[in-house]
Amino acid sequence: MEKDSLRGHFEQLLNERTGEFKMYPTERVWNSIYRRLHTRRKWHFIGGGTFALMILAGVFVLMQDNPRPPSKTFSHTVSAIKPGSRMLATENTSSIHTVPTRSNELNFNAGELQFSSSPLQSTTSGEDIAALNPVHAGTFELPSPELAPIIETHNLFSLQKAQNDPLLTSRLESIRDAEAALSTSPMRVIPSPTRYSWDFHFEPSVSYRTLKSRTTITSASLGFIVVDNNGYDINHLVEQRPSVGFEVGSDVRYALTSRWNLKAGLQFNYSRYTAAAAIVQQHTAITNLSVGSAPPTPVSNTTPYANESGHAGNMGDVTWIPDQRIELSVPVGAEFEILRTGGFSWNVAGTFQPSYILNAKAFLLSSDYQSYVQNPNLLRTWNMNIGAETFLRFNRGDVQIQVGPQFRYQLLPSFISSYPISEHLYDIGFKIGVVRTIR
Amino acid sequence: MTEDVLLQGCLHKDAAAQQEFYNRYSPKMLSVCYRFAKNREDAEDMLQEGFIRIFSQIHQFQHKGALEGWIRKIIVHTCINMLKKNKKFSESVDIQYAQHLSVREEAVPAVIQAKQVIECIRMLPIGYRTVLNLFAIEGYNHKEISEMLDIEESTSRSQYTRAKAMLEDILIRKRILLAPPEKALHQH
């Protein structure tokens, strides 16, 4: 840079006096920078989570839309079909039931004429009566007596040929017309329950944490006097309060047996707690990170927050600094029905919950336990939680309502393994859920 | 952590290295922004934008000069761009007030407190302050300043002369700068 001739003593003095001056930015600045630099990675996970949620929702909608459970498809060879009426006559001759709807189409398939149907119920005069399985009833019959022998004597190839035959084509069309006519029957069709169900749940919860130091805490390492008869338990060096958070999510369940259910889903967690801190002048606090026997790496952060409980004297104005996490979890687990009586049952459930932190505001204790600092880099983005719950489930017609307490514990420490203090969060909540069988 | 290790970490987008880098240079850079900005909040916005540019352009640092100088250059340019964006230069300047002041090179104080000086600089109208910051403290010449601010070189010179006089007067009034003998006599 070319210096102008005008630059003299005054400029030099200004430069010297102001050039080295330091001001400490607030935490907001680094947090904003961090978010802007690392949002792409976060959005990948959010996008992935949303995509997974959409897939789950899509599967759910498809399963709701298709009343035919995959495990209950009946295939019949052509020879099983006999000529006769299209009506199903039950043993109870007082009622006549139709084989309903779109699921019982005639499908020409590899070497066989396939007929698919759910074990369905049809209603006559408001009364539900189980329909007979077409094969077992033995009375599912084609409308045209002359078509059956033709089909009976031909394999797939002859069937395909038959489709090209104008006479046979018109017959097959008449079958389809008859099917369509049946599908518009005013009779109400109620599918039978399947093994799948889904639930939606919401839990107000309170969150708290427990701390454990991986290094030995001695009075020398503290650098201040601890007036505490409880010894050097790190939990006594902080003052904290639980705060209210919540969880909301949805699961798909599969009934293994009448008592055991497997479940998997997506869950959104918001948990928080507060810690007492004194507001002091901006200062630099050191956090030592250590891996194995290697010498610790100091990381410096500026902060205006002192850990009041970590100091012997009164530090100044006390404030409660909020610590909060927003997570997306994938709970996978099982439920067991302990007791069933009348309209309700008593259950217990447990889940493993791999979790990804979408957003967090976390304060760490500095290595001398005297300051609270914010350092998002030291936060573990992936974690594993476990959940345990017990609940009562009440039958309310099509849906079941469940209520009961739940406990959630974070298995891995909140911060990376080189940070010497392990923090484990836990939530205690009250779960309210709605369960509905997928038909 | 050495400067090279920090740079390598930042090149690999390592968040811990980026934070250490930020912690090391942000206090000085915030004071730079503060001299240009209207208030502390604006200064922090400038600092934030500046560091995002630094991290995204860090591969362009060629080790030809001091890293701090390179960082400072980006921060200053960010401040100027943000001022331009907010049309801060359109604010009126009290030229008449400045014109009767003369430059007195001999008026050098024994001790000047940095913070007080910065506060006095911040009392100048934004146009004067920007030119003074760029010329007297950041070391840009008038040609460079004219290009940065899209003004004539002569305008930069005259703005600087007036800014300097005005600042000197403020410093004297605040008793940070010793008044020259003739002015001290006149005041008595």
Please report the domains of chain B, with CATH numbers, ordered by start residue: 3-86 (1.10.1740.10), 91-187 (1.10.10.10)
A24 contacts on B by Cβ (under 8 Å): 26-27, 30
Q: What residue ranges define each of the domains in chain A, with the CATH number in brackets?
A: 72-190 (no CATH), 194-437 (2.40.160.20)
Q: Nearest CB to A26: which of B44, B118, B144?
A: B44
- Is the CB of residue B139 less than 8 Å from the CB of residue A3? yes
Nearest CA-CA partner of A390 in A374, A408, A403, A373: A403
Q: Does B69 touch chain A (CB under 8 A)?
A: no
Q: What is the pLDDT along chain A (439 residues), one digit of tens a residue?
A: 444 455 677 787 787 777 778 888 888 888 888 888 886 666 666 676 666 766 766 666 666 555 444 444 444 434 444 444 444 443 443 333 444 444 444 444 433 444 444 444 443 444 444 444 443 434 444 444 554 444 444 444 455 555 566 766 777 677 677 666 655 555 555 555 578 888 999 999 999 988 887 766 654 445 554 444 445 677 777 888 899 999 999 999 999 888 999 999 999 999 999 988 888 888 888 888 877 777 778 888 888 888 866 554 566 677 888 899 999 999 999 999 999 888 889 999 999 999 999 888 889 888 878 889 888 888 888 999 999 999 999 988 778 899 999 999 999 999 988 888 889 999 999 999 998 887 6
CA closest to B140 among chain A residues: A1
**Predicted TM-score of the model (pTM):** 0.49
A377 contacts on B by Cβ (under 8 Å): 15-16, 18-19
Strand partners, A278: A306, A318
B118 contacts on A by Cβ (under 8 Å): 18, 21
A363-402 burial, b at 16+ Cβ within 10 Å, e below that, comes to bbbbbbbbbbbbbbbbbbbebebbbebebebeeeeeebbb
The tokens describing A33, both together, are 């920078």
Half-sphere exposure at residue A406, Cβ-oriented, CA atoms within 13 angstroms: 31
The tokens describing B41, both together, are 């909040």
